[in-house]
Amino acid sequence: MFRPGFLWPKGRKTSEEAGFEMVTIQVLKTDTPQPGERANEADNPTSQVMRFGPDQPLRLDCGVDLAPFQIAYQAYGTLNADKSNAILICHALTGDQHAFNDHPVTGKKGWWLTLIGPGKPIDTDRYYVICANVIGGCMGSTGPASTNPATGKIWGLDFPIVTIPDMVRAQAMLIDRLGIDTLFAVVGGSMGGMQVLQWTVAYPQRVFSALAIACAPKHSAQNIAFHELGRQAVMADPDWRGGRYYEDGAHPHRGLGVARMAAHITYLSDAALHRKFGRRMQDRELPTFSFDADFQVESYLRYQGSSFVERFDANSYLYLTRAMDYFDIAADHNGVLAEAFRDIKTRFCVVSFTSDWLFPTSESRAIVHALNASSARVSFAEIETDRGHDAFLLDVPEFIDIARGFMTSANIARGLAGTSLAGPR
């Protein structure tokens, strides 16, 4: 039986979504999803699925032809007659296809409600919005948590290594199957932003506009180091069992929880942590002189670790972090980023946040400079906020306004009907 590795006592206060305001949350429910339930989502997801047979392999960068395979996705809105209003949303490392609907495992609201929905910048009354779980993920697209059809067992570490370009090639196959030639926009932040950039390089004629948020053209040494820390935490858990924990009904929830805790720190900023928690004690006035969670920030991180393992597969975490580590757009262009964007016609908007030290503004500027060198149409915004890397997921009015303005401009340039995006209705 699965049991969370961290206990979250009653009365804790936390909020990622509420702009770091302190709000009361409830204790984790006793009906926490079991490993078998998560595995069921891996093969039979609560979303739409596109299946590709043995005669339609996905050629991976590692040299393997993956077949058969499937892509789980959600779609919101209506595709217009000429199929010109499709937007692809690319999710981040720990995201999935459930951007605008309730999550089938946790029951939580969609992860990008600030940007997607009626009257929002990505207006589901106007656009056909697609969000697909990436290859290597654990929510229905083929990955290490899926069943290997050749053996009837879970893939585990027998699954081939995947890259960001592999993810994008799989998405392109999905878009082909949907009969869509050109995407009106590709939008994503963090690892999703990497996918956005890869789309514009790999399929420049198929992307009319691109909104790349809080991302980089390659993963830095520091970020690779943080990912290695997380991977080692997972692999050091005795329940990881060489990646074959599925066979024994185990789950390395302690290691994965620690990996999530470490990663979550990088998504925030020192100023945000100070404002949100400071050195305040958790439900006590004096220290316990023990290793209990005396400080609010400790309890918050333990909750983040505990809640994460409800919905995510440990091996998928290894695979997706490795995919980010390998990402380097310029590598295939003699190390010259501008060459990757040569003669590109896509309209770009690149956004960064002042307090994001995971993907700092310097990375976004490098993208913008390369696009300028390629004479591409690009706008750039550095948004002042202390909310760190996760700002792109939060209610940051300036970011939402910029996204709305970019979508409005692209809408007009594309000549789509109903170009007004004046604000929420």
CB burial of residue 389 (10 Å; 0-12, 13-18, 19+):
buried
- Enumerate the β-bridge partners of residue 415: none
Q: Among this protein's residues, is 306 annotated catalytic? A: no
DSSP at 77: S
- 3-class DSSP string for 379-420: EEEEECCCCCHHHHHCCCHHHHHHHHHHHHHHHHHHCCCCCC
Closest of 318, 316, 322, 321 to residue 138, by C-alpha: 316
Does any domain span residue 74? no
Helices (H) and strands (E) in the chain, counts: 11, 12
C-beta separation of 333 from 218 below 8 A: no
Region 273-279: what's the mean pLDDT? 89
Closest of 125, 89, 96 to residue 110, by C-alpha: 96
pLDDT of residue 39: 59
Give the C-alpha separation, 82 to 310, whole Å: 41
C-beta separation of 167 from 136 below 8 A: yes
Q: Which member of 190, 306, 307, 316 is catalytic?
A: 190
Relative orientation angle of helices 253-267 and 221-236, to the nearest 10 degrees:
160
C-beta separation of 208 from 175 below 8 A: no
Q: Where residue 37 falls among pLDDT bands split at 50, 70, 90?
A: low
Asked if pLDDT for residue 14 goes beyond 50, the answer is no
Does any domain span residue 381? no
Q: Where residue 418 falls among pLDDT bands split at 50, 70, 90?
A: low
Region 100-114: what's the mean pLDDT? 96
C-beta separation of 303 from 276 below 8 A: no
Q: CB atoms < 10 A from the CB of 9, how many?
A: 13
Q: Where residue 417 falls among pLDDT bands split at 50, 70, 90?
A: low
Whether a cis peptide bond, with omega within 30° of 0, leads into 68 is: yes
Tokens of 395: 């209610």
DSSP at 24: B
Region 133-142: what's the mean pLDDT? 98
- Enumerate the β-bridge partners of residue 45: none
Cα distances (Å, whole numbers) of residue 62 to 66, 227, 280: 10, 20, 49
pLDDT of residue 283: 83
pLDDT of residue 219: 96
Region 275-294: what's the mean pLDDT? 86
C-beta separation of 140 from 74 below 8 A: no
Does any domain span residue 267? yes
Does any domain span residue 33? no
C-beta separation of 102 from 109 below 8 A: yes
Give the C-alpha separation, 319 to 156, whole Å: 10
Asked if pLDDT for residue 399 goes beyond 60, the answer is yes
Does any domain span residue 231? yes
Helix ranges, 109-178 (H): 164-177
What does pTM read for this prediction?
A: 0.89
Q: Where residue 280 falls among pLDDT bands split at 50, 70, 90?
A: confident
Domain of residue 279 covers: 219-326
Give the C-alpha separation, 193 to 210, whole Å: 9
Give the C-alpha separation, 414 to 290, whole Å: 62
Give the C-alpha separation, 23 to 17, whole Å: 10
How is 301-350 classified by DSSP, letter by letter? HHHHHHHHTTT--HHHHHHHHHHHHH-BGGGGGTT-HHHHTTT---EEEE
pLDDT of residue 287: 87
Residue range 54-71, pLDDT digits in tens: 999 999 999 999 999 999
Residue range 302-352, pLDDT digits in tens: 988 888 998 999 999 999 999 999 999 999 999 999 999 999 999 999 999
Q: Which member of 91, 227, 251, 389 is catalytic?
A: 389
Q: CB atoms < 10 A from the CB of 124, how many?
A: 18
CB burial of residue 19 (10 Å; 0-12, 13-18, 19+):
middle
How far is residue 363 CA from its own chain's centroid?
18
C-beta separation of 156 from 60 below 8 A: no
Q: Among this protein's residues, is 390 annotated catalytic? A: no
Q: Which member of 237, 313, 325, 356 is catalytic?
A: 356
Relative orientation angle of helices 314-326 and 191-202, to the nearest 10 degrees:
50
Does any domain span residue 75? no
Instruction: Look up the CATH number of the domain holding residue 321.
Output: 1.10.1740.110
CA atoms within 13 A on the CB side of 308: 27
> In the chain, how many domains are there?
1
pLDDT of residue 300: 87
Does any domain span residue 413? no
Closest of 291, 295, 273 to residue 282, by C-alpha: 295
Q: Among this protein's residues, is 190 annotated catalytic? A: yes
Does any domain span residue 281? yes
Closest of 181, 80, 66 to residue 134, by C-alpha: 66
Give the C-alpha separation, 364 to 356, whole Å: 11
pLDDT of residue 332: 92
Q: Where residue 375 falls among pLDDT bands split at 50, 70, 90?
A: very high
Residue range 199-250, pLDDT digits in tens: 999 999 999 999 999 999 999 999 999 999 999 999 999 999 999 999 989 9
C-beta separation of 128 from 182 below 8 A: no
